[in-house]
Amino acid sequence: MQKLLIADDDNEIRELLEFDLSHSGYVVDTAKDGEEALQKAITNSYDLILLDVMMPKMNGFEVCKHIRNAKPNLPILMLTAKGTINDKTQGFDSGADDYIVKPFDIQEVLLRVRALVRRNRTPEKHSEKQEILKIGDIEIFPDSLETEIKGKRIKLTPTEFEILYCLMQHFNNAVNLATLLNEVWGYNSDDDVRMLRVHVGGLRQKIEENPKMPDYLQTVTNVGYKLTPMGENTDD
């Protein structure tokens, strides 16, 4: 049975999530502030963490960074009232896998929790990504969630790794947005296209010398994205 940690200083929200997730078959632990969340996340074993941003003692962005450094593969879903694109970008840069803005629909939370837990625990997907994969200038290392480009090692978040892995499977071919959403999150929603684009932007910041003029991760107009050999012309 999967075990989750809910970290939120709002008693009503924390208790609502604990009730609904427990009745959906999860074992649920809770934390009321950032320090407690970090301590529990580091010392205990969880399948996913639901993490608020605005918490006393330590904010969710800082907690997320520390957790990601200690447990690179642990899924983190941020729940917050801070819903601007800059806030979401900061959350993803901190290592979050997904982001839901309050007030939220509990059914949407359950959907995203199931998708992240399934992505992390599916044996077939886990086993097929153990081998180091190299195509062109790009090499990926599943065990450490790293990529190497021209001898430079780069640490990725789990979601960035999933996006890069999916694009490497279709190297030099366009992958549409629906396919990427299904491959990375396990479901396809038009509402999540912006989330995907934010992650792609973060990935470009890491792997491209000039993210505004990418050599590798190209946009294919009206389709999606593709990974290309360096210097190839695209319709971006």
Per-residue model confidence as pLDDT tens digits over 69-81: 899 889 999 988 8
Return mean pLDDT, the chain.
85
What are 170-220's pLDDT values in tens digits? 888 999 998 888 888 776 666 578 778 888 988 999 999 999 999 999 999
SS3 content of the chain, % helix, strand, coil (to 5): 45, 20, 35
Q: What is the pLDDT of residues 46-66, one digit of tens each?
A: 999 999 999 999 999 999 999
Residue 219 shares a structural domain with residue 185: yes
Whether 236 is in a domain gets the answer no
- Neighbour-count burial for 178-212, b at 16+ CB within 10 Å, e otherwise: ebbbebbbbeeeeebeebbebbbebbbebbbeeee
235 within a domain of the structure (yes/no):
no
Q: Are residues 8 and 82 in the same domain?
A: yes
- Residue 157 confidence (pLDDT): 82
Q: Which residues contact 127 (CB under 8 A, 6 or more apart)?
A: none
Decide which of 121, 151, 166 is a domain's last residue.
121
Let me know whether 98 and 26 are in one domain: yes
Residue 200 in any domain: the answer is: yes
Give Cα 225 distance to the centre of its chain: 18
Tell whether 18 and 113 lie within a shared domain. Answer: yes
* CA 24 to chain CA mean position, Å: 22
pTM of the model: 0.70
Range of the domain at 194: 125-227
Other beta carbons less than 10 A from residue 126's beta carbon: 13
Within a domain: 233: no
Assess whether 201 and 175 both reside in one domain: yes
> What CATH number does residue 216 fall under?
1.10.10.10
Residue 234: is its pLDDT beyond 80? no
The whole-number pLDDT of residue 73 equals 82
Q: Are 156 and 143 in contact (CB under 8 A)?
A: no
Q: For residues 118 and 113, which has the higher predicted lDDT (pLDDT)?
A: 113
Report the number of distinct structural domains present in the chain: 2
Closest alpha carbon to 149 in 96, 95, 89, 215? 215
Contact (Cβ atoms closer than 8 angstroms) between residue 1 and residue 25: yes
pLDDT tens, position by position, 125-144 = 444 555 668 888 899 888 78
* 93 assigned to some structural domain: yes
- CATH code (residue 72): 3.40.50.2300
State which of 70, 95, 121 marks the end of a domain: 121
- Asked if residue 10 and residue 117 are part of one domain, the reply reads yes
Q: Are 167 and 207 in contact (CB under 8 A)?
A: no
